[in-house]
Amino acid sequence: MNPLELTLGIMTAVGGFVDISELVFAAKAGSTFGYALIWVFAFATIGIIVFSEMSGRVAAVAKQPVFNLMRHRLGLKLGLVTLIASVISSLITCAAEVGGVALILNYLTGAPYLILAVGLTVALIASIWVIPFEWIERSYGLLGLFMVVFAAALVAIHPPWHQIASGFVPQVPKGLTTKELLTFGYFAVAIVSAVMFPYEVYFYSSGGIEEGWSVKDLLTNRLTSILGMGLGSLLAISILASSAQLFGPANVDPEIPGTAALQAAIPFGKWGLILALLGMFFAVAGAAVETCLANAYSIAQFFGWKWGRHKKPWEAPRFTITWIALFIAALAIVLTGVDVMTLVEFAILFSILVLPLTYLPLLLLAGDRKFMGQYANGAIAKVLGWFYFAVVGCAAIAALPLYFLTSGGNG
Amino acid sequence: MRAPMGICILCLAACSSGPSADLQYIKQARSIGAEWALVNEQAQADQLTSTYVESMHQWLRDGLSTASSSLTEPRSAYGAEIRTLLAEPADAAPETLRGHVNKLKRIEDQLESA
């Protein structure tokens, strides 16, 4: 294990953890329910750590990416249903990320939003084409570390630390009306969905194969999952806590993503604002790249095409055409003028519906001793895996009714 | 039997009109007004870049227009309040904007407790 590689891997995971959905829902959750939803972020983070570690382990031991397994485990018909659902979910997510990046660049430059969306899509495509795979994830993740300004801003505003600490204890605030309880439920489901987005697992496991992981990388996989995602989640929790402190009392329920940047501007002024916007820009741009590649990986793996960015683009032509086409499709959605916040809500809804189908085959395979040998799930991974599978199953059932009954969390 | 009833309840929730259906847009407008006030307050204290302030004003105004045009009862008291808020200049004083926010918040609380 190379310590430099490990540190870079962990820092990349930290910088790449927050995407547009987490940004939006962390800020909204804090302003609406104070610190009471911090535990949901922590809880969902353990879930994504469990499944990321599992998918990385399967990639290292069995050399099988998630979608390949899905087709074999679920059968062709159910596998195809899962593929279609996950492609729709990741495409909407990618559109939300592309729209989000264009919006953030609009706050930085003032250039027209739709022109920025077109220019950014071209730039993102060029970056995937030109940069070697290892550095695609790494450059966006490391530059996303500007987001650390949100954690510094939280410290600078002297929040009530004891209340933040008590937010880590699972709770439902007392005295809520039925409507508020439903809204709390909707936010909880949305946060679970935003943190456990299926594209993260597709991308992580395919990335492991791209980088040629083997059993000697299992410790790196475990540490990257636990430390990288755990620390990344603290950034999202910082946004939630600052929002509870600054936005809740001011009657602000952030309706546009740019409002979150005020959290850094209030204590640090213009430089705080610029660092926050740069961090948001790179983190969300990284998520746009990951969702698009994850989608192309899924399609290519399902149909058995040659895939991977470790190959030259023309060596895997169908894979290359797919990820470019997906970026263009995401841009086309943005160009219809649909609101980014609406895209975020749809991305959350579709993703939670796909989550159980994503995690079931992974759970079955990672626990299969015939396939994984001594590296199959142990008792802890097994219990946590099935527990979180039940959680995402319940969340998937509750998501649509909660969305309609609460008008997408707006009461 | 329960499943169709559940679907009916969801449809009713999604298709209703009147003040309760407008509540989400009132909340949206109240929040946008409060965001606008916060932006102007920080801009006055020279904490923000002018580009950010201009962009935020544009997006906040767009959001407010959408909320206003989505109301099922635009001739109501809250409809008028949202239009008054929308008519404020971009660099309106934070106190003025918060005055509108407080009025919308009172209407929102009344509707929620009804």
Domain boundaries, chain B: 17-113
Closest partner CB to B47 (pick from A255, A265, A410): A265
Minimum CA–CA partner of B63 in chain A:
A255
B34 contacts on A by Cβ (under 8 Å): 250-252
pLDDT digits (tens, 9 = 90+) for A3-49: 777 776 787 777 678 899 999 999 999 999 999 999 999 999 999 99
- Domain assignment present for residue A20? The answer is yes
Residue A411: what pLDDT?
67
Distance from CA of B10 to the nearest CA of A (A): 6
Instruction: Give the lowest-confidence range in A28-32, A280-284, A362-366.
Output: A362-366
The C-alpha atoms of residue A227 and residue A11 are separated, in whole angstroms, by 9
Residue A165 has pLDDT above 70, yes or no: yes
Residue A10 forms part of a structural domain: yes
Looking at the predicted structure, is the pLDDT value of residue B6 above 70?
Answer: no
User: How many angstroms separate the CA of residue B45 from the nearest CA in chain A?
Assistant: 9
CB contact under 8 Å between B35 and A106, yes or no, is: no
Domain that holds residue A275: 3-405
Q: Which of A108, A247, A339 sits opposite B51 (nearest CB)?
A: A108
CATH number at residue A338: 1.20.1740.10
The answer to whether the CB atoms of A256 and B38 lie below 8 A apart is no
Domain contains A411: no
pLDDT at B1 over 50: no
Residue A262: what are its φ and ψ, rounded to 5°? -60, -25
Beta carbons of A262 and B51 less than 8 Å apart = no
A218 backbone dihedrals φ, ψ, rounded to 5°: -65, -35
Q: For A224-278, what is each residue's pLDDT tens digit?
A: 899 989 999 999 999 999 999 999 999 999 988 899 999 999 999 999 999 999 9
Query: Is position A56 within any domain?
Result: yes
Number of domains in chain A: 1
CB pairs under 8 A between A and B: 91
B interface residues, A as partner, C-beta within 8 Å: 6, 10, 13-14, 23-24, 27-28, 30-32, 34-35, 37-39, 42, 46-49, 51-52, 54-56, 59-60, 63, 66, 101, 105, 112
Q: With beta carbons under 8 A apart, name residues in chain B contacting A266.
A: 42, 47
Q: Which residues contact A347 (CB under 8 A, 6 or more apart)?
A: A21, A89, A92, A93, A95, A96
Contact A106 B6 (CB under 8 A): no
With a cut of 90, say whether residue A65 has pLDDT above it: no
- For an interface test with B, the pick among A115, A178, A251, A275 (most B C-beta atoms closer than 10 Å) comes out as A251
pLDDT of residue A101: 96
Give the per-residue pLDDT at A15.
66
All residues of chain A having their beta carbon less than 8 Å from the beta carbon of residue B38 are 247, 250, 252, 259, 262
- CA-nearest of A95, A54, A17 to A334 is A95
Q: Is A124 a member of any domain?
A: yes
Contact A138, A261 (CB under 8 A): no
φ/ψ of residue A214, rounded to 5: -135, -175
pLDDT grade for A385, boundaries at 50, 70 and 90: very high
Asked if A313 contacts A299 with a C-beta cutoff of 8 angstroms, the reply is no
Contact: A110, B55; criterion CB under 8 Å? yes
CB within 8 Å: A179 and B14: no
Q: Which helix (H) or strand (E) holds A195?
A: helix A178-195
Asked if the Cβ–Cβ distance from B52 to A256 is below 8 Å, we say no
CA distance A139 to A387: 34
A411 Cα to chain B: minimum distance (Å)? 6
Q: Name the average pLDDT for chain A.
A: 91
Interchain CB distance below 8 Å, A255 and B49? no
Digit-coded pLDDT (tens) for B23-44: 989 999 999 999 999 999 999 9
A contact test, residue of B53, B54, B55, B112 with most A CBs within 10 A: B55
The per-residue DSSP string of A77-106 comes to HHHHHHHHHHHHHHHHHHHHHHHHHHHHHH
At residue A1 the predicted structure's pLDDT band, cuts being 50, 70 and 90, is low
Long-range pairs for B63-71: beta carbons < 8 A, 24 or more residues apart? B63/A255, B63/A256, B63/B28, B63/B32, B64/B29, B64/B32, B64/B33, B66/A339, B67/B25, B67/B26, B67/B28, B67/B29, B67/B32, B68/B25, B68/B29, B70/B25, B71/B22, B71/B25
Query: Is the pLDDT assigned to residue B101 strictly greater than 60?
Result: yes
CB nearest to B10's CB, from A258, A262, A401: A401
Chain B residues within an 8 Å CB radius of A270: 46-49
Choose the closest CB to A404 out of B14, B55, B105. Answer: B14
**Which residues in chain B touch residue A410, judged by CB atoms under 8 angstroms apart?**
23-24, 27-28
Percent of chain A with pLDDT over 90: 66
Please determine, for residue A122, whether its predicted confidence score (pLDDT) is greater than 90: yes
Identity of the highest mean pLDDT range in A257-271, A336-350, B8-22: A257-271
Q: Pick the more confident residue, A241 or A342.
A: A241
Does B10 sit within 8 Å of A259, measured CB to CB?
no
Residues of B in contact with A258 (CB under 8 A): 52, 55-56, 59
Q: Do B24 and A266 touch (CB under 8 A)?
A: no
Nearest CA in chain A to B100: A251
Contacts of B105 in chain A (CB under 8 A): 251
Pull the structure tokens for residue A295: 């989608």
pLDDT > 80? residue A66? no
Looking at residue A30, its amino acid is: G
Q: How far is A259 from chain B (nearest CA, A)?
A: 7
In chain A, residues with a C-beta closer than 8 Å to the C-beta of B60 are: 255-256
Task: Give the residue-averaged pLDDT of A330-336.
Answer: 97
Determine, for residues B34 and A179 on separate chains, whether the beta-carbon distance falls below 8 Å.
Answer: no
